[in-house]
Amino acid sequence: MEKTEIILQTDGSFVERLVSERTLNVGQGVLDTLTENVTRPIRNVFHIPDWGFVHANAGLNDTLWSVPIGRIPLHARFKLVNQVMVPMFASGTDIEIPLVWKVPTEVKVVFAVLTKQEDGIVSVEGNWLFACDVDKRGYRLPLPNLHDDCRICTGAFDGDQETAFECVKASLEQFGKSKWNADLMRTSEQSKQFFRFKPTKDSFETLPIQSDNWTMLCEKVGSALIERVIV
Amino acid sequence: MKTITVKYGVDEITKQVEADFTFGDLQGSDTFKAALGFGDNTKALVDGIEQNRDTVIPANATVRIETAANTKA
């Protein structure tokens, strides 16, 4: 379609403008480029037994899966200090116990799995562990085996699966059975204030974090990935 | 002087800085670190593109600071 516009300019002159319009046959490639950084959150995509619902943030090239978790398995060495069990990640002599830390209500902990799909195989690109406050600020927990951006040093496991469900399940299984050692450890004093247990007759009870403001024991984290996390 | 906006996670601050203020100056600035809570291991991005530390930040730019991934110690 073509149309002609006559424009009267402020200096009194007339200008003729010819406007030509046609519908472009936009290919998928153009659309993909325009939407490259667009992601879409989808809640409650599936449920992993013992862990809970999994939310997705789907991008063009990858999907970030968020699993809000209520516990962190801590297979590590512990020591009794003033009747309180505290982690001794760097120790080679203290007792090794698989304790489970129950996440207190004021902390939102999200286990995240990034997957990509290619040739019918869904691959785990990495696992992250984020702590979030009520305003969705992200924090790195005072744990070893966590990189600065909260990526978990998981150790090797089979991250190539047929479905995203299996990828998340395999990642959580690895997370659940991995031992926490001193790799990437920088915050041992904060760990002892954060992860505390009281021995009871039959087991160990998670004690409150020894701080009025738990975020003071963590490092604040900002990244494109954490912005895709669904708490 | 020029004005820049710096974002880190959900927090942001708009501040006046010297005309020759670089991305490296920003990443090392105790003022911005204290205000936004970022540490030493960061990268600076503008429109999603990582910036060189020596580059002068354009006036009125919005800079996103991100925690950089580290390598295993």
pLDDT in tens, A29-38: 888 888 888 8
Q: How far apart are CA A18 and CA A64, in angstroms?
A: 48
Give A154: exposed, middle or buried? Use CB within 10 Å, 0-12, 13-18, 19+: middle
Is residue A149 within 8 Å of B67, Cβ to Cβ? yes
CB contacts under 8 A, A 212-231 vs B, are 219-224, 226-227
- Name which of B6, B8, B10, B46 to mutate to probe chain A: the one with the most chain A Cβ atoms within 10 A of its Cβ: B10
Q: How far apart are CA A169 and CA A162, in angstroms?
A: 12
pLDDT tens across A76-125, in order? 999 999 999 999 988 888 899 999 999 999 999 999 999 999 988 999 99
Q: Do A220 and B65 touch (CB under 8 A)?
A: no
Q: Tell me whether A188 touches chain B (CB under 8 Å).
A: no
Q: Do B69 and A151 touch (CB under 8 A)?
A: yes
- Name which of B66, B70, B71, B72 to mutate to probe chain A: the one with the most chain A Cβ atoms within 10 A of its Cβ: B66
| ipTM of model | 0.83
Is residue A230 within 8 Å of A66, Cβ to Cβ? yes
- Give the tokens for residue A25: 């046959």
- For CA atoms A107, A195, A154, A187, give the dihedral sign: positive
- For CA atoms A168, A111, A113, A172, give the dihedral sign: negative
pLDDT tens across B10-69, in order? 999 999 999 999 999 999 999 999 999 999 999 999 998 999 999 999 999 999 999 998
Chain B environment of A149 (Cβ under 8 Å): 66-70
pLDDT of residue A32: 81
Of the candidates A139, A110, A115, the residue with the CA atom closest to the CA atom of residue A125: A115
pLDDT of residue A90: 84
- C-alpha distances out from residue A79 to A67, A97, A143, A203, B72, Å: 30, 10, 16, 15, 26
Q: How far apart are CA A183 and CA A135, in angstroms?
A: 30
Neighbours of A140 (CB within 10 A): 23
Calculate mean pLDDT across residues A172-200.
87
Q: Tell me whether B72 touches chain A (CB under 8 Å).
A: yes
**Three-state secondary-structure class, residue A207:** coil
Chain A environment of B37 (Cβ under 8 Å): 220
Q: Do B9 and A221 touch (CB under 8 A)?
A: yes
- DSSP 8-class letter at A217: G
pLDDT level of residue A155 (50, 70, 90 thresholds): confident
**Three-state secondary-structure class, residue B68:** coil
In this prediction the pTM is 0.85
